[in-house]
Structure 1
């Protein structure tokens, strides 16, 4: 009897990569931050750092409502006096941070001298200057017009930022984009106003737990244009329950009617402890396909209307000037974050205060923060050096549509990206995500690579960051 022929193994097809895993707006994410041993003094952290082109961010953690998809550090409303106490604390923090920055910086009389290199090879710190500023949240325009003036005073008089001479971006919502608030922002030098619309279809807005009417949104956009702030950005979301290609096109065209200089297209995510997490359970591949289809439709429509793609999410009208760093493009370490939910970056450390999503925890953290007498130390954070710095640079550069010059990476780190991340870049090339298979002087994503930015980004997380994020217990 003849022995049976051995079975021929069937070809194994690699499972498709899920396109929506994590929005990597910063690396590492705050869920990887940990309490810093000894709470290092800010003056020690900033001593020896370049301070001549800092980014300044002021965080306002208040909203009139909380959208169902939101996992940002913000609370609904503010009891009497809370916004005033918050600004008092922000003023104290700004004074402490500015003192730390000034410690060791060049004196005013030496401000215009070229930085020298000392015998140890370290670059002089130079004068303190800000290259751009942003007010975010939460909703900065939750503050009254007078409070917004005070916020600008803190940025200018405490921190020394000349808001009328640098790009200033401010976030707003339709309900809070009132004429008096917009007038203050325009007069104080705002160059970009970003408004979260998400959908111009009332039923979709309700499905996203964002109570608003299209008529009110259109009225707010009219007030913004009347204020003559140079750049208008409109945020839209795709993947909302009940959304169709036709209704998505309705929102896109309604936004385009205002000829915004920028448009952001965000995929909907449902995160733990958010409003939608208690109502829906979107985990299936059908939802992935729906979002990917809507993304491609939105991308192609905006490109046909004369917009240029800057990143997966960001589109800029042709001819519109950039107003500050692009999405994911903060390559120069050096960011000052003021406020309870803000993060700051030195060249070696990212730090912030505590983080939460649950409303009760957020209220507790804000109350503790407003009562803080001394803001001279870093509390939570993560060191970003060596391999982590390389990952951050590659991740944030590669997620830009313009790509990353390999020479820039080599100049900064002394090695090439293919030497440092051979497995990751080979996998991206095999999936068709890299132009020219990743060869050549420019490492750049293909259109499909950009479409899968939320899958590509997490694959560049280090094992240590992955472990820290996995160990984080949502609160």
Structure 2
């Protein structure tokens, strides 16, 4: 049995946002959250601005923010936070177990704007940022001392820096204009700010990248002893800078798959040899890294509140967000519509999640972690067995050698299974989600 292509889709959430559609009933948030557990929620604030847009990026973000757009965006974020917190009510305790600022680039905001962003999380939503894990994404150009001081002072426990490559020529090939000297200076400022956890993002599969240049980036990252390192395969997606020039011939794609797998294995083995533990296909954590703080949030079962026009929110029955696009003109329109919105009391776009989809999501979000899924957790939640619910899929994974051996009480992936996470994940998508994703018109 031949294995499928290893790089199909990065499954960071399920169902995928391209399966969302306008919600005809536009349900009220108060009704959606009325019976949901709210004692261990995750809070995500989305900032859809960047100083540049990388050639591989299909995130919901725009370049720059003219005419005081960031101020209007924060005004809208404040209105949304007020409406959402009102919808959560006070009949049962509302507590946030963790928080994150993502994008885009949250540190695109100036220091005073970052203070306001933290105030929205704390004063409007009630998230005690200094008492919970708080993760923030940054770029080298925006990781300035004044911004980092704000984040450190407000309780940030993790700063994720998008480096991608320490080789200037590779950064240019990925349409990411940056110099290694500037990256190193930003890393120095981050360490000076004493944020407990530094994560460095690196990308493999860039045009012209070799085993030697990949090793150079890995060693340059390790020189800073980051508590975490993420290794991302390069994807070339429609409507992105690189996507407009991609060679989609079968021969070229096979060769690229083989190159990325070689570089992934090299990177994985290098990090493991230098004292890192593998958490997932992408994530590696230094074995002596400090804990970020108490975090009792379980992504399989607990709810998520997303604020901002690119953020998602999750209840047990509905995942919802705002409209989604990749094309810059479409994104600008959506952001403009968001900043003009006064009524944030209803869900506009999303997808309802039935019990079959909940099973798939639970399995996906557990199995793609190196520690795997406790079988008893699944059985207690659903009253069924994953080997019965997903017999065909798990048999296929076993035939490819993707499942680990041994009766450990956990369903776990083998090292090769982790390497093929981006093929394994999509294989668990439901027919309905596949059809909705296929029908989505990229824009």
Give the TM-score taking structure 1 as reference length: 0.91
Q: Distance in 1 between matches of 2:188 and 2:74?
A: 29
1:35 equivalent among 22, 25, 28: 22
In structure 2, what is the equivalent of residue 88 of structure 1? 75
Q: 2:31 matched to 1:48?
A: no
2:208 equivalent among 229, 238, 242: 242
Q: Tell me how far 1:83 sits from its aligned partner.
A: 0.3
Q: Tell me how far 1:347 sits from its aligned partner.
A: 1.0
Q: 2:364 matched to 1:364?
A: no
Q: 2:420 matched to 1:452?
A: yes
Q: Tell me how far 1:440 sits from its aligned partner.
A: 5.3
Q: 2:343 matched to 1:374?
A: yes
Q: 2:410 matched to 1:469?
A: no
Given that residues 373 and 410 in structure 2 are in contact (C-alpha distance below 8 angstroms), is that contact kept between their aligned partners in structure 1? Answer: yes
2:47 equivalent among 39, 47, 60: 60
SS of the residue 1:164 aligns to: helix
Give the TM-score taking structure 2 as reference length: 0.97
Given that residues 3 and 400 in structure 2 are in contact (C-alpha distance below 8 angstroms), is that contact kept between their aligned partners in structure 1? Answer: no
SS of the residue 2:268 aligns to: helix
In structure 2, what is the equivalent of residue 310 of structure 1? 279
Q: 2:107 matched to 1:141?
A: yes
Given that residues 196 and 292 in structure 2 are in contact (C-alpha distance below 8 angstroms), is that contact kept between their aligned partners in structure 1? Answer: no
Given that residues 329 and 396 in structure 1 are in contact (C-alpha distance below 8 angstroms), is that contact kept between their aligned partners in structure 2? Answer: no
Q: Tell me how far 1:417 sits from its aligned partner.
A: 0.1
1:281 equivalent among 247, 272, 276: 247
Bigger-Rg structure (1/2) = 1
SS of the residue 2:70 aligns to: helix
Q: 2:135 matched to 1:169?
A: yes
2:225 equivalent among 259, 281, 294: 259
In structure 1, what is the equivalent of residue 87 of structure 2? 100
Mapping 1:216-231, distance limit 5 Å: 216-231=182-197
- Cα distance change, pair 290–175 in 1 and its aligned pair in 2 (3 A): same
Q: Tell me how far 1:99 sits from its aligned partner.
A: 0.2
- Cα distance change, pair 329–295 in 1 and its aligned pair in 2 (3 A): farther
Given that residues 169 and 323 in structure 1 are in contact (C-alpha distance below 8 angstroms), is that contact kept between their aligned partners in structure 2? Answer: no
In structure 2, what is the equivalent of residue 120 of structure 1? none
In structure 2, what is the equivalent of residue 428 of structure 1? 397
- Cα distance change, pair 360–378 in 1 and its aligned pair in 2 (3 A): same
1:195 equivalent among 149, 157, 161: 161
Q: 2:202 matched to 1:215?
A: no
Q: Distance in 1 between matches of 2:418 and 2:292?
A: 22
Q: Tell me how far 1:15 sits from its aligned partner.
A: 3.2
Given that residues 133 and 294 in structure 2 are in contact (C-alpha distance below 8 angstroms), is that contact kept between their aligned partners in structure 1? Answer: no
Q: Could you list the runs of 5+ residues in structure 2 that have no partner in the other structure?
A: none
In structure 1, what is the equivalent of residue 119 of structure 2? 153
Q: Tell me how far 1:131 sits from its aligned partner.
A: 0.3
Per-residue displacement from partner, 1:127-147 (whole Å, max 9, x unpaired)?
001000000000000000000
Q: Distance in 2 between matches of 1:215 and 1:466?
A: 44
Moved over 4 A (4+): none
Q: Distance in 1 between matches of 2:408 and 2:218?
A: 36
Q: Tell me how far 1:383 sits from its aligned partner.
A: 1.1
Given that residues 329 and 397 in structure 1 are in contact (C-alpha distance below 8 angstroms), is that contact kept between their aligned partners in structure 2? Answer: no
Q: Tell me how far 1:323 sits from its aligned partner.
A: 3.5
Given that residues 29 and 347 in structure 2 are in contact (C-alpha distance below 8 angstroms), is that contact kept between their aligned partners in structure 1? Answer: yes
